[in-house]
Amino acid sequence: MLPASGLNAAVESADFITIDPHKAMMASSLDKIRVKGGTRLNGTIPISGAKNAALKHMCAAMLTGDAMQFTNMPVRLKDIQTLAALMKEMGADITLRSDGTMFIQAANIHSTEAPYDLVRRMRASVLIMGPLLARFGEATVSLPGGCSIGTRPIDLHLDGFRAMGAEIILEEGYVKATAPQGGLRGARIAFPKVSVGATENLMMAATLAQGETILMNAAREPEIIDQGEALIKMGAKISGLGTSEIRITGVKSLHGIVHDVLPDRIETGTFMIGVALTGGTIRLQKTRLDFLTSLVGPLQRAGVTIETEGADVIAHRNGKPLIGTDIMTEPYPGFATDLQAQFMTMLTLCEGAGMVTETIFENRFMHVPELQRMGADITVHGNSAIIRGVKKLHGAEVMATDLRASVSLILAGLVADGETIVDRIYHLDRGYENLVEKLESCGAQIERLSNQPAV
Ligand code: UD1
């Protein structure tokens, strides 16, 4: 439960979470997390809805004036609340219920501008651009911030909008996009690089464009399929979801739907890696193992047992040594870059060595110096890291630098000698719902240390 005081932008009661958009622009928690290492994880964890799908569903709600209802939304995540604040500022009517239901109605949008104060907190706000441009013919969005993992440009999004006839002007840190007279036009867009965000942004924009859009070299992530399926329910004409060629034929308008968000595969994978490190048995409820095939192989090679029981995944390690193994991040269905930092943490305690190669983002090894401070033996060569297993990690005060790096330090703390304090955990709040409570329920010695909110 979030406290109702200070600069907290979200206040949770028994039934609802109330967001204050003005506070959402200012609030930034300085809380830390303290972990005492050495306990096995044993227990059951309910998996939340996927953040990376939920955010896009919210953006897609801008495509219609009808009421939309989403269930299994990770409503406690800062990223979700930030986007809700942004959309409220634009005039959308949004209700977040504590049970994970979200109602959105974008019937009275009076602004199509996404200001820097909100976009800088979360890069995914740029995904609001496609829907706004398609429905209202204009969108002004600040250039994004978000995780500090490399430069992360949005050129592929903008080139796609240009191909659909939009005029794009970059001015004082803002992108101003205007659709041509009569609205966006369908286009053939061949992405030079696979991009999750660009695929989603253009797919949303194309649903209301004139004629057919073909997205080639499109991303194939499960979250994109989930988004596409929701759009189809709304009345969109889309084929090729889950393949690298998606075809969208524009329609005049879309309508409201009820949609259940798919489970978070990254959260699921993070806990699987957690139990690989600590030993023990955890049951991950209401999730999907088929989204994680590229993680299952390396985990099994390392010595983890993984089973499914209905919609639950059971991951188990009985204390046998972890064996070093290599991974390389790739677009889906390859190994997810969002699980790279966690997997590297696991390799720090393996027998022998493992290699991690990051091909999606530059500068995504920022967790390495922090893990080294805890005693890890890691050598980085360009976009590859060799991790030689050590006997023990040691508790330390470490700094979270991005969302997935932060959780990798929590996992390290779970197996380190003594106490680990992870600073700047606002990154974690962006993407892991009830992380402390979920780990605590499996026996971890972990607590949140509250600090003064920062502006
Ligand atoms: C999404 C996920 C993020 C995940 C990433 C890759 C969300 C909210 N975030 O991010 O968690 O790590 O996919 O699986 O869903 N690129 C360009 N130009 C662009 C867009 C991207 O060069 O216009 C580059 C990026 O810098 C990166 C690569 O393409 O090197 C892939 O990025 P992309 O797939 O777009 O990631 P996001 O959608 O931002």
Q: Is 340 in the pocket of ligand 1 (CB under 6 A)?
A: no
Closest ligand 1 atom to residue 156 Cα is 23
Ligand 1 mutation pick, 83, 168, 193, 364, max ligand atoms within 8 A of CB: 193
| Of the candidates 236, 182, 190, 237, the residue with the CA atom closest to the CA atom of residue 214 | 190
Question: Residue 165 to residues 181, 205, 242: CA-CA distances in angstroms?
Answer: 9, 12, 26
How many CA atoms are closer than 13 Å to the CA of 301, on its beta-carbon side? 15
What CATH fold (topology level) applies to the domain 22-47+263-449? UDP-n-acetylglucosamine1-carboxyvinyl-transferase; Chain (3.65.10)
Sign of CA dihedral 386, 390, 392, 398: negative
Atom 21 (ligand 1): residue with closest C-alpha?
195
Rounded Cα distance, 425 and 406, in Å: 7
How many CA atoms are closer than 13 Å to the CA of 308, on its beta-carbon side? 12
Cβ 162 vs Cβ 176: under 8 Å:
no
Q: What is the pLDDT of residue 147?
A: 46
Q: What is the pLDDT of residue 389?
A: 97
How far is residue 190 CA from its own chain's centroid? 25
| Of the candidates 302, 267, 303, the residue with the CA atom closest to the CA atom of residue 287 | 267
Q: Is 227 in the pocket of ligand 1 (CB under 6 A)?
A: no
Q: What 3-state class would DSSP assign to 215?
A: strand
Q: What is the pLDDT of residue 432?
A: 96
Q: What is the pLDDT of residues 200-233, one digit of tens each?
A: 999 999 999 999 999 999 999 999 999 999 999 9
Cβ 396 vs Cβ 372: under 8 Å:
no
* Residue appearing with tokens 């957690």: 274
Which helix or strand (DSSP H or E) is residue 44 part of?
strand 41-46
Rounded Cα distance, 196 and 215, in Å: 12
Tokens, residue 367: 């967790």
| Of the candidates 209, 214, 259, 267, the residue with the CA atom closest to the CA atom of residue 234 | 259
| Of the candidates 166, 53, 175, the residue with the CA atom closest to the CA atom of residue 115 | 175
Cβ 63 vs Cβ 250: under 8 Å:
no
Q: What is the pLDDT of residue 24?
A: 60
Q: What is the pLDDT of residue 145?
A: 55
Rounded Cα distance, 100 and 109, in Å: 24
Please identify every residue annotated as catalytic: 147
Tokens, residue 39: 């306990």
Q: What 3-state class would DSSP assign to 147?
A: coil
Q: Is 160 left (phi over 0), alpha (psi -120 to 50) or beta?
A: alpha
Rounded Cα distance, 201 and 175, in Å: 14
Closest ligand 1 atom to residue 266 Cα is 11
Q: What is the pLDDT of residues 73-118, one digit of tens each?
A: 999 999 999 999 999 999 999 999 999 999 999 999 999 999 888 8
* Residue appearing with tokens 């030993």: 279
Tokens, residue 44: 């059951």
Q: What is the pLDDT of residue 117?
A: 82
Distance 302 CA to ligand 1 centre (A): 28
pLDDT-flagged residues of the chain (< 70): 1-9, 21-29, 145-152, 452-455
Q: What is the pLDDT of residues 253-282, one digit of tens each?
A: 999 999 999 999 999 999 999 999 999 999
Q: Is 337 in the pocket of ligand 1 (CB under 6 A)?
A: yes
CATH homologous superfamily of domain 49-260? Answer: Enolpyruvate transferase domain (3.65.10.10)
Q: What is the pLDDT of residue 443?
A: 97
Distance 197 CA to ligand 1 centre (A): 6
Q: Is 268 in the pocket of ligand 1 (CB under 6 A)?
A: no
Q: What is the pLDDT of residues 305-315, one digit of tens each?
A: 999 999 999 99
Q: What is the pLDDT of residue 28?
A: 55
Cβ 188 vs Cβ 159: under 8 Å:
no
**Range list for CATH 3.65.10.10 in the chain:** 22-47+263-449, 49-260
Q: What is the pLDDT of residue 3?
A: 35
